[in-house]
Chain A
Amino acid sequence: MSRSSSRALLALTFILIAGGLLVLNLGGYLQAAEGMALRPLGALQGWLSQRVTAVQTLLTSPTDLATLRAENLRLEAEVARLERELIAVREQAAEAEVLAGLLGYARTRPESRYVAARVIGQDISPFIRSVWIDRGSDGGLQQGMPVVTERGLVGRVAEVYSTIARIQLITDPQSSVNVRLQTSRADGALQAQLNGELWVNAIDQSASVTPGELVLTSGLGGAFPSDIPVGQILTVRKRDYELFQQAVVQPSADLENLLVVLVITNFQPLAPPGAP
């Protein structure tokens, strides 16, 4: 057998094995194995994510960086120790700030129970918008639970393993959220484009929608609790010959820079992730 045909055979073998794994996974037979494999990967992901966040925080604070540099000049002997200390303190301060915000949010909604989780990674596929958090079924998380920050809706739990979980963001094209516009009281369906842009579709033509209007979850469909802030209307597209209006929404939560999120654990969703 020639070298090229043996390579083609090898490639075909791997592709067939991968196909077999795909089928097994679709049947749900690989859940336990995936959970086992994700345990060390998740731990490593969390460790690396914390370091990256700490360095990122340090680099994006020019004033403190200048102070740090001056200190470095004065205390050259202790530079390594001081840098480590500063990074740790800054990270804790940033985290405390986020947690204080989340605590404030939780106090405004005492009827919900929350589990706070740290974001440890993002989805590898550029076509899917989701993040990984460091809490899983061991922490009481279940598929479909809504996820928020102090600013508003983030998404919901799409996959749960023992120690980590994947959150499908509202900016994922597969996500769909039933929403209500606060002032006009019009209902609509929030859907995302591949570039992360959020659109509210199916708004009644008669509704008077204005930019700046707040968008809240409506609770319809039972996938999310009602009245969680989702975002604000940026622009409205209304054409007389169309059945519905559309509006572009600026999300309330900073979905590009999530550090810590809250999972609402006492809400039982009726619809699986992906359904509105």
Chain B
Amino acid sequence: MAYFAGTVVMALLAVVQSSLLNRFPFLNGTANLILLATVSWALTGRVTEAMLWAFFGGLFLDLLSGAPFAVSSMALVAAVYLASLTEGRFWEAHPMAPLGVMAVASLVFFALTMAALWISGHPMDPALAMTQVVLPSTFLNVLLALPSSQLAGRLREAAFPPPVRMG
């Protein structure tokens, strides 16, 4: 059920990203709702779901983009996998951990996307891309990392409460 519901949410987030969020860029960057949602969900420990959502979320993103199909999907799955590596680390519980994870995930996502676009023949000026898109977008993603990971944590507790042992 969670797999299906999450996939539908990813489709809605992709539409919101295209119709609403991209109207308000910071320089030329915008926050990536699907990256925020999937990485935040991975940080709650539900990595398999997060990875499946990242896969489908990336496909939805690419459907609404001129980028080569499935490129965002690969980049998002890689970003979620990286986020999952924090599990079990001593700093996992640190309240600021989502910021660092989101920054790394965001940079990895953009690096892979840029590489794919470059390979597919899209003109790419790395310096301009870095200052106009990657850094502003990463900044916005990091800015929204805390509220989004808090929201994901609450959703996880509500939807999947930890088992309580009786007696």
Give bound CA distance, A194 to B64, whole Å. 19
Determine the residue in chain A with the shortest Cβ distance to B58.
Answer: A18
A56 to B23 Cα, complex, angstroms: 10
Interface flags for A120-132 (1: CB within 8 Å of B; 0: not) read 1111111110101
Closest to B47 in A: A7
> A88–B27 Cα gap in the complex (Å)?
31
Contact (Cβ within 8 A) A120 B19: yes
- Residues on A with C-beta less than 8 A from B51 are 7, 10-11, 14
Q: Total A-B residue pairs with C-beta atoms closer than 8 Å? A: 159
Interface bin, chain A:
35 or more
Within the assembled complex, what's the spacing in Å between the Cα atoms of A166 and B66? Answer: 8
Contacts of A195 in B (CB 8 A): 27-28, 128, 132
Interface-side segment among A34-42, A200-208, A218-226: A34-42
**Nearest chain B CB to A248 CB, angstrom units:** 15
Complex contacts, B77 vs chain A, CB 8 Å: 11, 14-15, 18
User: Pick the contact of A48 from B19, B54, B55, B78 — CB < 8 Å?
Assistant: B19
Contact indicator A41/B11 (Cβ below 8 Å)? yes
Bits for B1-42, please: 1 = Cβ < 8 Å to A, else 0: 000000000011011111110110101111000000000000
Contact A123 B65 (CB under 8 A): yes
- Give Cα A139 to B1, complex, Å: 38
Interface residues on chain B, size class: 35 or more
In Å, the complex CA distance between A274 and B62 comes to 19
Q: Whole-angstrom distance between the alpha carbons of A122 and B22 in the complex?
A: 6
Does B22 contact A123, Cβ atoms closer than 8 Å? Answer: yes
One of A21-29, A59-67, A92-100, A106-114 contacting the partner: A21-29
Asked if B74 and A34 sit within 8 Å, CB to CB, the answer is no
Q: Say how far A157's CB is from chain B's closest CB, in angstroms.
A: 12
Query: In this complex, what residue of B is CB-closest to A35?
Result: B63
A58, B84: Cα distance in complex, Å: 43
**A255 part of interface (Cβ distance < 8 Å):** no
Question: A25–B63 contact, CB under 8 A?
Answer: no
Shortest CB-to-CB span from B127 to chain A, Å, is: 9
Question: Which 3 A-B residue pairs are closest in the complex by CB-CB distance?
Answer: A25-B69, A121-B18, A11-B81
Can you list 16 A-B contacts with CB-CB less than 8 angstroms, sorted by A residue number? Answer: A7-B47, A14-B51, A14-B52, A18-B71, A38-B64, A41-B60, A49-B19, A124-B62, A125-B66, A125-B72, A126-B30, A127-B117, A173-B124, A194-B128, A194-B129, A274-B121
Which A residues fall within an 8 A CB radius of B? 4, 7-8, 10-11, 14-15, 17-19, 21-22, 25-26, 30, 34, 37-38, 41, 44-45, 48-49, 52, 56, 120-128, 130, 132, 158-159, 166, 168, 172-174, 193-196, 274
Beyond A14-B77, A21-B59, list 11 extra A-B contacts (CB 8 Å).
A7-B48, A14-B73, A25-B69, A34-B63, A37-B63, A38-B63, A123-B66, A124-B67, A132-B64, A166-B66, A194-B133
